[in-house]
Amino acid sequence: MKINMSENVIKHSSENPFQSMISRFDKAAKLIGLDESDYNVLKAPQKTVIVNIPVTMDDGKVRVFEGFRVVHNANLGPSKGGIRYSMDVNLDEVKALAAWMTWKCAVVGIPYGGGKGGIKCDPRSMSKGELERLTRSYTDLMFNVFGPDKDIPAPDMGTGQQEMAWIMDEYSKLIGYSSPAVVTGKPIVLGGSLGRVEATGRGVMVSTRSALGKLGISPVGSTCAVQGFGNVGSISAKLLAMQGLKVLAISDISGAYYNPNGLDAEEAIAYRDSNNGTLEGYKGGEKITNNELLELDVTVLVPAAMEDQITEENAERIKAKLIVEGANGPTSASADDILNKKGIMIVPDILANAGGVTVSYFEWVQNRLGYFWTEERVYRRADRVMKTAFESVYAASKEYNCSLRIAAYAVAIKKVAEVEKLRGKFGV
């Protein structure tokens, strides 16, 4: 039997992402005086579903993929969260990502709970047909979990509009009529929202502006480095450049590219798009490593690739004045204390990258209304949500005398716990 070796690659993260989430949750819960029963309810996911998905591959053989969907909490509304296709997917990662979605939706004040899904697979090594069969079978197995009023998936790493279109189609087939609101991040012609593709990067830019304002630093003449050049990283880089920041470095899985005079983010996007989606061979900057990028002397560092990039191992060497977390969980809990001591401001993931779920919510609203907004309206409303959320988290950080991260958790946990008390313990 031929074994796909890529399946055996293990991600060496220094910390378990779920433990990282719990350690912040614990700090914030203590700060707001969360009572023990609310603590016990909110720390654990409400629902965890694990499925084995048989897929007939192009060579006629059947492979079985492990798939997950976790609903962390559905107190505020249907659970919302992306689906990730990656060899690194595991239950603890999905549990952490689901909990972050709960806190994220609460921080920005949208009526959703938190969920997340994932399939352990290497999408780049699969054909379009194999990916379609995998996605449809996963949807069949999750039919009782998904639903526009229950649990609403979206894209995450390794998935995009095409997967969402397949999920929408498969779910619609099973219920017998078209249900666009069952997923967000759909192609525009299928009921997607204008502005959704840019939403997360735009939220990163808006958060960066708000944070620089508090630090008394002008964006014009500031510098930034962006790790990850997918949806979030590339759009963040482009929009930060439009705000007057000089982009000194960008990176993706092929490595990092550094230019002390600044590089052209739009040109790099065009290069990536003409080069199979990667920066491999990009000549706009000198090649450095992803770790070196994190340690550059820049005003703003935007980790926008994956979890656990800034850890206790490299935190001491981080020189940025501001970290804006485009990715989910890029900073491990043990790195927080080191960065806080160094006086580095961190706009945490559950605030900084919440522009994506905000516009996903707008997409769902538009689907249910059957009436679509202009791009200008989407941006205006999303920017307002992001600015308001930043100010409420900033105010909480002053009230509790804590970091923006713990303040964001405090704001979110308070809200979800309040609803918990009003509703009772049933939750879903």
- Interface residue list for ligand NAD (CB under 6 A): 156-158, 200, 227-233, 251-253, 290, 304-306, 326-328, 353, 356
The separation between the first and the last C-alpha atoms of the chain, rounded to the nearest angstrom, is: 45
Smallest gap, in angstroms, from Cβ of residue 11 to ligand NAD? 8
Q: Can 214 be counted among the known catalytic residues?
A: no
Smallest gap, in angstroms, from Cβ of residue 94 to ligand NAD? 11
Number of H-type helices and E-type strands within the chain = 14, 12
Q: Whose Cβ is closer to ligand NAD: residue 67's or residue 330's?
A: 330
Using CB atoms, what's the residue nearest to ligand NAD? 230
Sheet holding 345-347, edge to edge: 286-288, 255-258, 246-252, 223-227, 300-303, 322-324, 345-347
Structure tokens at 192: 């997607």
Smallest gap, in angstroms, from Cβ of residue 211 to ligand NAD? 17
| CA–CA dist 229, 196 (Å, integer) | 17
Q: Whose Cβ is closer to ligand NAD: residue 67's or residue 230's?
A: 230
Residue 132 phi/psi, 5-degree rounding, is -65, -45
Nearest alpha carbon to residue 410 among 32, 19, 11: 32
| CA–CA dist 128, 33 (Å, integer) | 50
Nearest alpha carbon to residue 72 among 122, 103, 117, 115: 115
Smallest gap, in angstroms, from Cβ of residue 35 to ligand NAD? 31
Smallest gap, in angstroms, from Cβ of residue 185 to ligand NAD? 7
| CA–CA dist 353, 294 (Å, integer) | 18
Q: Whose Cβ is closer to ligand NAD: residue 8's or residue 144's?
A: 8
Q: Whose Cβ is closer to ligand NAD: residue 232's or residue 393's?
A: 232
> Which among 80, 95, 104, 116 is annotated as catalytic?
116
Q: Whose Cβ is closer to ligand NAD: residue 29's or residue 225's?
A: 225
Q: List, by residue number, the catalytic residues.
A: 116
